[in-house]
Structure 1
């Protein structure tokens, strides 16, 4: 067995492995390597274990070296899931060992594995994030009835307000809604080209759904990923009007409705931090939280990093960011966001 680095000649073999492996996720796809390199210029180390010319395990890694947020090696940065996917324990151990070697050669503060299940019990993990997944029913109306009554009323309020959903090929309306929303949360926005590359690389598996009112005015928009019968609304946001007409509630229902019509079997509402507004929002939809195990190999750091908006030391920064004019946040935000993997 050999551990090798992904190159242009092995891209298809990597994705073939991802598509057939039970433990893989959309975020293990090789396209993320191209998107991250082109968008943020970070170094990547996409490792695979090969035996008799056949891939038997993979581990995508991204190196982020930031003066503000530290030096890390992560599987996978900018993604909620990651870690090793392998056919056997031997491949798992070999990939993990190689990742540790690279982490120490780079002199990072820590190596982070964003696992959906605990893989290495003796490593510390961050007890902060959960994910929300739910099986979809075959019939659209059955899925509507499965939403708790109060949340169902919110969706119907949006429909009564004359909201409709449209599929966008471009990113302009999405970026306006998304950037306004994250500015209001006090979070730096990603560069526009990042979303353009996501659409370009993942094609029909990356879809933008935009909600407008009866006059065609932008209300909200979301970028979703499709993978192995699952839909994952990943980046989304609403304009100032969205709250008064339940624009976000209607938007997520439209993603669900269209996913059912496409034959999807699972709705992945994605990651949230425990106790936050997004956590409560997803609970209101009838989804139950499932813990995520972000495991850390502390190389030079003495403790698990705490780079997230709940950290009190970022409170003043977040409060100031919320007050920025939207064009200023769109200009300055990408410089910061590229290191917030």
Structure 2
């Protein structure tokens, strides 16, 4: 039996994610509240109950409506990963087919499912496959020196340089500093920033699974990143640097210090997140010696006639991007959340 999850299902949902080899931080039930309360997107969390009354599969979904970007059902907006996880192929397929039915009932343009590995059976069932992003994951060594030596030679030299720049590092839950730096960084890239409420909700919901590492010089914060900790993995997720960060090498310092801090917390894996293939961020992560692994998005078209193209390289968004880069920071912080919640 497949049904919509309620708030009362949080404990069994999270237990299933914890015990499933493919269960990720992005599958945790807490995103249901975080995304809904920060963006208004309606959750449709599907869970499968077997004949013994036990949960044997789940699929988190959100309905996203936008005049500019269309109407979609997605697993999961704001997250790198999503898609169904289950105890059997049959249950996984049943959840995906139920998602297709729900997409039809809701009258969306398309259903989008995000997976870390290729799902050939979805293509056989009529889904359209798209792989334009990669993620970067590497093992963490046990101590600071070995972590430094594990970094590719050229990038290691940059990190060594940063260690001579009298930079200081703090790890706390400092949302104000993070938001100032992050919103400045994404404004400079021409990207709308998320609401500050999102970051506050993440801390409130996930507590010690989230922290903020900030790098400063002469008591001025230059770089900051919010990271997620789950199972044995650390995932730097929302981060950026001010203009002065480039000369101080504080972004490089930040990620190295995060690796060291995470190793001390007992993490074994460093998930450097997703980047669009061949983008600047993709090339930067590659300099650390971390091999890219493809991410796969699968689309079931309902009302749409073709795949959505929300890429910043889409010519129809170029004027918006160029204009956005020129906005005063405060204006971008006010307007940004109204747009960013539809393009995550």
TM-score (norm 2): 0.97
Residue 118 of structure 1 deviates from its aligned partner by 1.8
Residue 143 of structure 1 deviates from its aligned partner by 1.4
Aligned to 1:66: 66
Aligned to 1:151: 155
Aligned to 2:275: 272
Residue 313 of structure 1 deviates from its aligned partner by 1.7
Aligned to 1:165: 169
What do residues 90-115 of structure 1 show as CA deviations (whole Å, max 9, x unaligned)?
21122112111110111111100011
Matched, 1:291 2:289: no
Aligned to 1:210: 214
Residue 200 of structure 1 deviates from its aligned partner by 0.6
Aligned to 1:4: 3
In structure 2, runs of 5+ residues without a counterpart are none
Q: Which moved more, 1:148-157 or 1:330-339?
A: 148-157
Aligned to 1:230: 233
Residue 81 of structure 1 deviates from its aligned partner by 0.5
User: Contact 2:143/2:260 (CA < 8 Å) preserved in 1?
Assistant: no
Residue 146 of structure 1 deviates from its aligned partner by 1.1
Equivalence map 1:81-160=2 (5 Å): 81-119=81-119, 120-122=122-124, 123-160=127-164
User: SS state of the match for residue 8, structure 2?
Assistant: coil
What do residues 276-326 of structure 1 show as CA deviations (whole Å, max 9, x unaligned)?
110000000001111111011111111111102121221111111001110
CA distance in 2, matches of 1:313, 1:127: 21
Aligned to 2:258: 255
CA distance in 2, matches of 1:306, 1:78: 17
Structure 1 outlier segments of 4+, above 4 Å:
none
CA distance in 1, matches of 2:297, 2:14: 24
User: Contact 1:135/1:267 (CA < 8 Å) preserved in 2?
Assistant: yes
CA distance in 1, matches of 2:145, 2:5: 44
Matched, 1:301 2:320: no
CA distance in 2, matches of 1:5, 1:124: 25
Aligned to 1:328: 331
Residue 139 of structure 1 deviates from its aligned partner by 2.7
Aligned to 2:223: 220
Note the aligned Cα RMSD (angstroms). 1.0
CA distance in 2, matches of 1:310, 1:279: 15
Equivalence map 1:6-21=2 (5 Å): 6-21=5-20
User: Contact 1:107/1:299 (CA < 8 Å) preserved in 2?
Assistant: yes
User: Contact 2:41/2:63 (CA < 8 Å) preserved in 1?
Assistant: yes
Residue 189 of structure 1 deviates from its aligned partner by 0.4
User: Contact 2:177/2:224 (CA < 8 Å) preserved in 1?
Assistant: yes
What do residues 115-151 of structure 1 show as CA deviations (whole Å, max 9, x unaligned)?
1112223322112111111111223211110111211
Q: Which moved more, 1:181-190 or 1:44-53?
A: 44-53
What do residues 171-203 of structure 1 show as CA deviations (whole Å, max 9, x unaligned)?
000000000000000000001011000011000
User: SS state of the match for residue 166, structure 2?
Assistant: coil
Q: Which moved more, 1:42-51 or 1:117-126?
A: 117-126
CA distance in 1, matches of 2:146, 2:173: 29
User: Contact 1:140/1:261 (CA < 8 Å) preserved in 2?
Assistant: no
Equivalence map 1:21-36=2 (5 Å): 21-36=20-35
CA distance in 1, matches of 2:130, 2:219: 43
CA distance in 2, matches of 1:229, 1:239: 30
User: SS state of the match for residue 243, structure 1?
Assistant: helix
Q: Which moved more, 1:172-181 or 1:311-320?
A: 311-320
